[in-house]
């Protein structure tokens, strides 16, 4: 990471600074979003508007945000339409930024949550902060060559930052947070572990790398009921995976059910009622919002030890970290050792979206200070 020394108080964003948040182009942004990047964008932008910051979100039509929505077009409705939609999305964002400059209402910062807008930063003068939500191997290597000078990055976990250790433009590590106020039912509930409904739960994006089929296999071997909840994105390989691996298991397992795209309320209800949440990801996860939400609901997590999951799950206190299916099944019998109250307290101490927003506000202010310093140097050079 960059070795810089900053002076001054960066706990609040200076008044009059306008921030543009750039969303992933495929889907809408709202409280009901399934994707982690969309959830973090919705949560962070909500916190910033509460502080009086003027925010705009560039996202698909139908998004619901706290500040201003700039619609870049309709979300994808057809399979494998991503590249066309991405170009449309990015072109309209560049047009917006340039138009706002001409109108005298420029953005002070572009916060890119889309996973790929930042290469277009060479077409604009505004500083761009790109949050890296994915493992490094999921980004095309060319995205990190010839990075425009007005771009910097942040990671969302220490393990992810280690994977990006050679990237000079990394400014900070800011862990994700969740809106704990939205989990008041789980936080205030007096239901004990012995009183909760039995059954396993898997929640997430339905795709091979997240491996819900492994969770189904665990449930089948343990002879326990399981609910699989999640969204199937409009990519042919995701749909093929569901048809090949998930549908046959659901058909043969009497105690397995699938809840497609559960609403926010339904997801929270499932989390509160589950015996445990399973995380069976096959990739080095950079964070896990669903593990945070489970803790806030008082529900323990059993997860493969991958990536940042040890930073989110406290082994033996909020769940169990395992290395394979056999260890996961063995952990089922130890769930009564996990205290519901301990899970909730851990979530309150470590996963607050307010804390996350505080850290982003500090980073924004440092970027503003850097931008002013650079502009001053350029003016001096121009006078010589």
Q: What is the 3-state secondary structure (H, E, C) of 224-280?
A: CCEEEEEECCCCHHHHHHHHHHHHHHHHHCCCEEEEECCCHHHHHHHHHHCCEEEEC
Identical fold between 18-177+352-383 and 180-350: yes
* pLDDT over 60 (residue 192): no
- CATH numeric code, 180-350: 3.40.50.2000
**Helix (H) or strand (E) run with residue 294 in it:** helix 289-296
- Asked if 1 contacts 161 with a C-beta cutoff of 8 angstroms, the reply is yes
Distance CA 231, CA 258 (A): 10
**Can you spell out the DSSP letters for 112-144?**
E-SSS-GGGGGG--S-EEEEE-S-GGGS-GGGG
Q: Quick one: pLDDT at residue 381?
A: 47
Residue 289 CA to residue 269 CA, distance in Å, equals 16
Alpha-carbon Rg for the chain, nearest whole angstrom, is: 22
Please state the domain extents for the chain.
Answer: 18-177+352-383, 180-350
Q: pLDDT per residue over 318-374, tens digit each? A: 999 999 999 999 999 999 999 999 999 999 999 999 999 999 999 999 999 988 756
Which residues lie below 8 Å from residue 223, measured CB to CB, with a gap of 6+? 255
* Helix-helix angle 212-222:325-332, to 10 degrees: 50
User: For the segment 214-234, what is each residue's pLDDT rounded down to a tens digit?
Assistant: 999 999 999 999 999 999 999
Residue 172 pairs with which residues in a beta bridge? 154
**Which is higher by pLDDT, 43 or 12?**
43
Q: Is the pTM above the cut of 0.75?
A: yes
> What CATH class does 18-177+352-383 carry?
alpha beta
pLDDT of 380 strictly over 60: no
């Amino acid at each position: 990471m960059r070795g810089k020394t900053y002076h001054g108080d960066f706990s609040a964003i200076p008044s009059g600074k306008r921030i543009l948040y750039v969303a992933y182009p495929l889907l809408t942004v709202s409280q009901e979003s399934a994707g982690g990047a969309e959830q973090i964008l919705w949560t962070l932008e909500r916190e910033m508007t509460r502080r009086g910051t003027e925010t705009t979100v560039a996202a698909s039509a139908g998004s619901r945000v706290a500040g201003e929505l700039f619609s870049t077009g309709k979300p994808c409705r057809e399979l494998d339409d991503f590249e066309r939609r991405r170009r449309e999305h990015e072109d309209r964002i560049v047009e917006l930024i340039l138009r706002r400059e001409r109108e005298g209402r420029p953005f002070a910062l572009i916060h890119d949550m889309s996973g790929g807008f930042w290469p277009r930063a060479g077409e604009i003068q505004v500083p761009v902060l790109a949050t890296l939500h994915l493992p490094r191997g999921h980004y095309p290597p060319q995205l990190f060559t010839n990075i425009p000078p007005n771009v910097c990055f942040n990671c969302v976990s220490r393990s992810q930052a280690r994977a990006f250790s050679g990237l000079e433009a990394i400014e900070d590590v800011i862990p994700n947070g969740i809106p704990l106020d939205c989990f008041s039912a789980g936080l205030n509930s007096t239901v004990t572990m012995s009183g909760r409904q039995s059954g396993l739960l898997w929640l997430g994006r339905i795709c091979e790398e997240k491996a819900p089929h492994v969770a189904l296999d665990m449930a089948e071997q343990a002879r326990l009921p399981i609910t699989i909840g999640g969204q199937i994105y409009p990519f042919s390989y995701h749909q093929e995976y569901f048809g090949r691996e998930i549908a046959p298991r659901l058909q043969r397992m009497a105690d397995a059910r699938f809840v497609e795209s559960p609403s926010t309320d339904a997801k929270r209800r499932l989390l509160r009622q589950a015996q445990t949440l399973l995380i069976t990801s096959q990739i080095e996860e950079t964070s896990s919002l669903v593990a945070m939400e489970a803790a806030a609901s008082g529900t323990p997590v059993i997860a493969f030890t991958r990536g940042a999951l040890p930073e989110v799950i406290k082994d033996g206190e909020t769940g169990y970290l395992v290395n394979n299916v056999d260890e996961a099944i063995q952990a089922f019998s130890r769930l009564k050792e996990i205290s519901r109250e301990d899970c909730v307290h851990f979530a309150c101490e470590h996963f607050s979206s307010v804390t996350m927003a505080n850290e982003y506000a500090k980073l924004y202010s440092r970027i503003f200070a850097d931008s002013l310093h650079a502009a001053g140097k350029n003016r001096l050079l121009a006078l010589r």
